[in-house]
Amino acid sequence: MADHPKRAFPAITQANHHFWCGGKDGSLHILRCGDCGHWIHPYAARCPACRSAEIAPQPVSGRATVVGFTVNHQQWQPDFEVPYVVAIVELEEQSDIRLMTNMPRTPIEDVKVGMPVKVCFEQHGEIFCPLFEAA
């Protein structure tokens, strides 16, 4: 297994399993309304666009755009290798489906606001942590 930082993951539940564990099949999974097609993240029990209860995870393209990022230099945890990038990406499917992420496979100096990126995964047991890299 690749060398990667210890991450503080949430408890895996029925509500978040698709996001944290869904990458096993190579795709990022996001909840989607079966009636109007609206993407929903984080979890909600009714579609905010049409109030439908028909909500289920679906794979997305994994393509996204960096809308903001920070290069962190502070050693918050002994095993975090600094500096590292924390970025906010907007999924191609819907602009308010925005994820915080890391980009360990992209050189720090290459990270720019507006750059296209694609999803990749880092396995921690049953969890496939979604990360992004230059597209």
Partner 1 sequence: MIHYAEKNTAISGIGQSQIERKPTMLPFELAVRACEQAIADAGLRPEDIDGAACWPPVPAGAVTGIGAAGIADISNSLNLKLNWWSGADSAAQLSPIMEAVAAIAAGYATHVLCWRALGERSAPSYTTSGGGGWVPTGGMEWMVPYQAPSASIWIACHASTHMTRYGITREQLGAIAINQRRNAGLNPKAIYRDPITMDDYLTARMVTTPFSLLDCDVPCNGTTAVIVSRLDAARDLRNPPIVLEAMGARSHNKMGSWLGRTDYPHQAMHDAAAAMWTRTDLTTKHVDSAHIYDGFSWLVLSWLEALGFCAEGESGAFVEGGSRIALEGELPMNTNGGQLSEGRMHGLGHLYEAMLQLRGLAGERQLKKELNVSLVANGGGDVAGALLLRRDG
**Alpha carbon distance 32, 115 (integer Å):** 25
The pair of structure tokens assigned to 98 is 């925005």
Residue 118 to residue 131: CA distance in whole angstroms? 8
What x-and-dash track marks residues 4-43 binding partner 1 by CB under 8 A?
-xxxxxxx----x------------------------xx-
The site partner of 4 among partner 1, Zn ion, none (C-beta below 5 to 8 Å per kind) is: none
Contact 91, 64 (CB under 8 A): yes
Closest of 122, 91, 112 to residue 23, by C-alpha: 122
Told to check if 84 binds partner 1 by CB under 8 A, we report yes
Residues within window 25-84 making contact with Zn ion, judged by CB under 5 A: 33, 35-36, 38, 47, 49-50, 52
Residues that bind partner 1 (CB under 8 A): 5-11, 16, 41-42, 67-78, 80, 84, 86-88, 95-102, 113, 129
